Structure 1
Amino acid sequence: MMKIVQCVPNFSEGRDLEKVEEIVSVLKNKEGFKLVSYEPDKDYNRTVVTLLGNPNDIIEALIPFTKKCLDLIDMNHQTGEHSRMGAIDVIPFIPIQDTTMDECVEYANTVAKKINEEFSIPIFMYAEAANIKARVKLPNIRKGEFEGMKEKIKLEKWYPDYGNAEIHPTFGVIGVGARIPLIAYNIDLDTENTKRTGFIARTIRFSSGGYRFIQAGPVFLESRGHTQVTMNILDYTKNPIYRVLEAVKMEARRYNINVPSCELVGLIPKTALLKTIKYYFQVEGRDFNEDMSLEEITKYSIEYIGFRDFDKSKIIEANI
């Protein structure tokens, strides 16, 4: 069986689509891996790239990809709704097929070393690849963002894992890690009130007393004219989509706010969708079939979860 990893580099440009296209051009039509998707968002000013395939081929392609980001993005002039600390903010590796987490940690360290040696960009290792406990959680590293990192990196406790204790002046720093599949999931709220959206986000966010494995916050999407509870579900086996969706709907009712739709950024494991579809089938007293097709899973995900801009290609198993 062939080794397959998912790699999800996020870079800090989502408005200038010509730049986005030039950056991702070095990842297209390559041997050994597939560029599954790239999703620019002008409100977040960020593009999420999803790669799937042979880890060594992905690692080699990330070097010219980094060079493109270095040439085209100056973080001194970059703003957006999403927190960020570098022109490439993160590069996580996720085991998918015939690959262990320990191997993904090795891949993460290999690419971190290569990028630092080639471009003198400092690297912080996070999640399963973290060397220091305080760096397991990405928000701990990213706190202060690009602007604050200029001084933060000089503190001994925040020396980078690779490189000198000084940010690259235009690029910043990168977080490189290894993790289980994370679900980047956003719930649309039919309101422009970010304060109320923030109250709702706090009820589900673990750090403020909500659900474990949930990171969440409010954001206003100017292009769509409404807010979102934007979140990462770090372990969908412990807290599935339906639980956070129903909690947000319940909290939104107290403010008479509708929840019209949801958004998925990147890919999602089939089992994560089946877990939530099963819940709604049970609510309605319907017979549930674990072996439903990807087409059926897509249909019911749109029906019950309310995904917009969603199709079969967003499911990991459809791309293997």
Structure 2
Amino acid sequence: MSQWIECVPNFSEGCDEQVLNEIARVIRAIPEVYLLEVDPGAGAHRTVFTFAGKKNAMAEAAFQAIRVASEKIDMTQHRGVHPRIGAIDVCPFIPLEGSTIDDCIELACQVGHRIGTELGLPGYFYGAAASRLERKNLTSCRSGQYEGISQKLKNPDWLPDFGPAVFHAKSGMTIVGAREFLIAYNLNLNTDSVSIAKKIAAKVRSQGKLPSANRLPALKAIGWDIPEYGIAQVSTNVISFPQNSLFDVWLAVSKEAEKLGVQVTGSELVGLVPLKALLDAGQSFAKQQEQEAVETEFELIALATTSLGLGELRPFDPQKKILDYVLNQAIATSL
């Protein structure tokens, strides 16, 4: 059986199409690797690339993309609402059909050490590839962000896993790792108040100090604003979508928003989403809305798309956003 692996690097560039096109070009140049999506965000000044392929080719594709980003992106000029630690903020490998998390750890280590030796950039391993317990959490690795790197590298507990323990002003640091699939899911509010968005996020994320009836397991959440749309969002990472469905997150955020006098008006998916996640959401909405006739795959996806408001900020095309569809199409096109 072939070993399929996904890689979802996040680059700190959301506006310059020439830079993004060059990163895309070097990924496409690697045989047996399929570029599935490029999802830029101007407000976050960040772009999520999604590509997948055979294990033996994925490390090279990831490294070449990282090499171009390190050459083209200048962190001294970077401004954006999303937390980040460098030009190549994070590069996770995710197991797909026929592969395991151990395969992804192997690739993460290969790529990380090449970043350190060939590009001279420092960084950390996170997730399943973490070298120590406190580095499993991406937020911990990113703490202090780009602006705090110099101070962070003075701490013996935060010396890099690869590369020199020296601040690289142009590229910052990078975080490479292995993890299971997560869904980046942002919910739109009918307010531009970041304070309200942060209060809601604090009540739904899995780790929080405040008591909350709507706190969800395996969920990360922060509040921020999206100036290009004039709204605030609750930005979440659904760490385990079988444990938390998109419906669960939508419902929890909606309840907390209502308590503060605002509403969830829609939402967006950043990157690709597994087919099962939308089918599960569709089934939950069908039950909530007592729509017993909604049964087919097409109907469930349509109901989930409408109920979650996935097309509020920009058009949502299931054929371009569902991982299963996009990967199958990419493979069919290459044959």
Q: For this structure pair, what is the TM-score category when the shorter chain's length is used for normalisation?
A: over 0.9
* Conservation of the 8 A alpha-carbon contact between 1:298 and 1:311: no
Q: Which amino acid aligns with 2:308?
A: I
Rounded to whole Å, the distance in 2 between the matches of 1:260 and 1:285 is 21
Give the equivalent residue in structure 2 for 1:316: 323
Give the equivalent residue in structure 2 for 1:17: 17
Q: Which sits farther off after the overlay, 9-18 or 303-312? A: 303-312
RMSD after superposition: 1.7
Rounded to whole Å, the distance in 2 between the matches of 1:240 and 1:271 is 10
* Conservation of the 8 A alpha-carbon contact between 2:85 and 2:173: yes
Rounded to whole Å, the distance in 1 between the matches of 2:64 and 2:258 is 48
Give the equivalent residue in structure 1 for 2:172: 172
Give the equivalent residue in structure 2 for 1:305: 308
1:285 Cα deviation from its structure 2 partner = 3.2
Residue 78, structure 1, aligned to residue 83, structure 2? no
1:21 Cα deviation from its structure 2 partner = 2.0
Give the equivalent residue in structure 2 for 1:108: 108
* Conservation of the 8 A alpha-carbon contact between 1:181 and 1:268: no
Rounded to whole Å, the distance in 1 between the matches of 2:316 and 2:46 is 19
Rounded to whole Å, the distance in 1 between the matches of 2:261 and 2:227 is 21
* Conservation of the 8 A alpha-carbon contact between 1:34 and 1:52: yes
**Within-5 A mapping of 1:146-295:** 146-209=146-209, 210-287=215-292, 292-293=296-297, 295=298
1:297 Cα deviation from its structure 2 partner = 4.3
Q: Which runs of 4+ in 1 moved over 6 A?
A: none
Residue 50, structure 1, aligned to residue 50, structure 2? yes
SS at match of 1:196: helix
SS at match of 1:261: strand
1:269 Cα deviation from its structure 2 partner = 1.5
Rounded to whole Å, the distance in 2 between the matches of 1:196 and 1:271 is 31
1:60 Cα deviation from its structure 2 partner = 0.9
* Conservation of the 8 A alpha-carbon contact between 1:27 and 1:35: yes
Rounded to whole Å, the distance in 1 between the matches of 2:149 and 2:117 is 20
SS at match of 2:177: strand
Alignment size in residue pairs:
318
TM-score by length of 1: 0.94
Unpaired stretches in structure 1, ≥5 consecutive residues: none
SS at match of 2:117: helix
Rounded to whole Å, the distance in 1 between the matches of 2:144 and 2:90 is 15
1:29 Cα deviation from its structure 2 partner = 5.2
Q: Which amino acid aligns with 2:322?
A: I
Pick closer, same or farther for the CA change 1:285–1:89 going to 2, 3 Å: same
Q: Which sits farther off after the overlay, 58-67 or 42-51? A: 58-67
* Conservation of the 8 A alpha-carbon contact between 2:283 and 2:300: no
Identical aligned residues as a percent: 34
* Conservation of the 8 A alpha-carbon contact between 1:154 and 1:166: no
1:250 Cα deviation from its structure 2 partner = 1.4
SS at match of 2:89: strand
1:162 Cα deviation from its structure 2 partner = 1.2
Rounded to whole Å, the distance in 2 between the matches of 1:81 and 1:87 is 14
Residue 90, structure 1, aligned to residue 97, structure 2? no
1:246 Cα deviation from its structure 2 partner = 0.8
Rounded to whole Å, the distance in 2 between the matches of 1:212 and 1:153 is 32
* Conservation of the 8 A alpha-carbon contact between 1:86 and 1:173: yes
TM-score by length of 2: 0.90
Q: Which amino acid aligns with 1:145?
A: Q
Give the equivalent residue in structure 2 for 1:117: 117
1:266 Cα deviation from its structure 2 partner = 0.7
1:298 Cα deviation from its structure 2 partner = 3.2
Rounded to whole Å, the distance in 2 between the matches of 1:297 and 1:97 is 24
